Amino acid sequence: MSDHRGHWRTPLMVVSSVLGLAACFTSTVDYQRDAEAYIDGTVAEAVGASFVQVECERPIDQNVGTRFECTALDDSNGTWVFDNEITAENEFEVNVFSRP
C-alpha cells in the first residue's frame, strides 16, 4: 500500500496531512479526483470554508513538478482557486492561489 500525501499552503498558514490510499495513483484522473476530495474535506475545514462545488483540472501527466488547478465555490458564492503541484509519486501539494 502506498501513502498519498496531500499538502496545502496559504500565505497565512502552512498545514500538512497524510492520507492513506488502498492503491497507487495509476492515472492523472487519480490526482484530479483525490485533489477534489482533499480540498472539499481537509482544506475546507482548515480554512473554515464550506464548499458546495470543487472542480480540478486533470494533470497533463504524473511527473513531479506537474501543476494543475482547482476551483471551488463556497456557500457564500465566493470562488477559491488552488494551484496544485505533484511533489513526489502519489503526493501533491495544494496551494491557495486566490480566495474571496
Q: Say what the pLDDT of residue 20 is.
A: 37
Q: Say what the pLDDT of residue 98 is.
A: 92
DSSP codes joined into one string, the chain: --EEEEEEE-SS-EEEEEEE-SS---SHHHHHHHHHHHIIIIIHHHHT--EEEEEEPPPS---TT-EEEEEEEETTS-EEEEEEEEEETTEEEEEEEE--
Per-residue model confidence as pLDDT tens digits over 15-48:
333 333 334 667 888 899 999 999 999 999 999 9
User: What average pLDDT does the segment 86-90 reach?
Assistant: 88
pTM of the model: 0.77
Residue 64 has pLDDT above 60, yes or no: yes
